[in-house]
Amino acid sequence: MEVGVNFVGTAPRARSAKASILPLELKGVSFSVAGERLIGEIFCRLESGTRTVILGPNGAGKSLLLRLCHGLLQPSSGEVFWRGADGLDPTRCQAMVFQRPVMLRRSAAANVDYALALRKIPRSERGDIVREVLDQTGLARFAGQAARTLSFGEQQKLALARAWALKPQVLFLDEPTASLDPAATRAVEQIVAAIHAAGTKIIMTTHDLGQARRLADEILFLHKGRLIERGPAERFFTAPETAAARAFISGELLW
């Protein structure tokens, strides 16, 4: 496991020399519960370098798809395939931030430290990483504060800091700003942009069109569990190919 954190403003480590777990391929992935197909079948390949936004209305299956990709759910059929590289464990090269992050009953700094300890980062290296990542997410002044007393927006930033500290190759984000006000949303989006700029592949869900326009390089448009459109963000927003995507973009309710 590589240690240390890449930050905007410091020289990112040369990633070209590093083995990558990407691309991620979904090969006919489906997910069913009690005989009802909730996802699939989905075929797609996600490359490194781009911010992939999974867009779709409430109930479209965005969270399920993200959990399938991250390995929290097992597909009912098909395969989630990481290219992987010799000696690389894909599960150790990815992190996820949930819509409602759970903080441990300890300080903000200790929450980040604990995540690093779980990844077996030596104690002697953890302090610097924790300080740096709290600094870069604007949370330095909260380092000693009990994490659960932070505001919801601050907790969401801390969840991002905790994930970023692990320096994942891939970061999954499930509606990271769903309950935040515009200022907190903007702050979280800036952190996501910084994590991307430092070389981490972003795969995130949202039903917020404005956010998708601001953050996405490519869109996966999900409707009723099926991937019905995929393409560069600009093309998706200017020339959607399906009636469902056109209806979603124009604000009509789909579900």
Ligand X SMILES: Nc1ncnc2c1ncn2[C@@H]1O[C@H](COP(=O)(O)OP(=O)(O)OP(=O)(O)O)[C@@H](O)[C@H]1O
Residues that bind ligand X (CB under 6 A): 33, 38, 56, 58-64, 175, 207
Cα–Cα distance, 248 to 255 (Å, whole number): 10
32 binds, among Mg ion, ligand X, none (CB under 5 to 8 A by kind): none
Size of the site for Mg ion (CB under 5 A): 2
Judged by phi (left if over 0) then psi (alpha if -120 to 50, else beta), residue 113 lies in alpha
Cα–Cα distance, 87 to 158 (Å, whole number): 30
38 binds, among ligand X, Mg ion, none (CB under 5 to 8 A by kind): ligand X
Among 78, 85, 80, 77, which residue's Cα sits nearest to residue 66?
Answer: 80
Site for Mg ion in 172-231 (CB under 5 A): none
Does position 48 interact with Mg ion (CB under 5 A)? The reply is no
When the beta carbons of 56 and 136 are compared against ligand X, the nearer one is 56
Minimum CB separation of residue 78 from ligand X in Å reads 17
Does position 63 interact with Mg ion (CB under 5 A)? The reply is yes
Minimum CB separation of residue 174 from ligand X in Å reads 7
Minimum CB separation of residue 61 from ligand X in Å reads 4
- Report the half-sphere exposure of 85 (CA within 13 A, side-chain side): 10
When the beta carbons of 154 and 175 are compared against ligand X, the nearer one is 175
Which pair of tokens denotes residue 127? 């302090």
When the beta carbons of 38 and 193 are compared against ligand X, the nearer one is 38
> What values do phi and psi take at 141, rounded to 5?
-70, -10
Cα–Cα distance, 11 to 14 (Å, whole number): 9
Question: CB under 8 Å to 19, separation ≥6 — which residues?
Answer: 85, 86, 87, 88
**What is the three-class DSSP state of 46?**
strand
Nearest residue to Mg ion on Cβ basis: 63
Minimum CB separation of residue 52 from ligand X in Å reads 15
Strands 94-97 and 24-33: unpaired
33 binds, among Mg ion, ligand X, none (CB under 5 to 8 A by kind): ligand X
Minimum CB separation of residue 177 from ligand X in Å reads 12
When the beta carbons of 56 and 240 are compared against ligand X, the nearer one is 56
What's the CA angle centered on 144, arms 139 and 149, to 5 degrees?
A: 80
Residues that bind Mg ion (CB under 5 A): 62-63
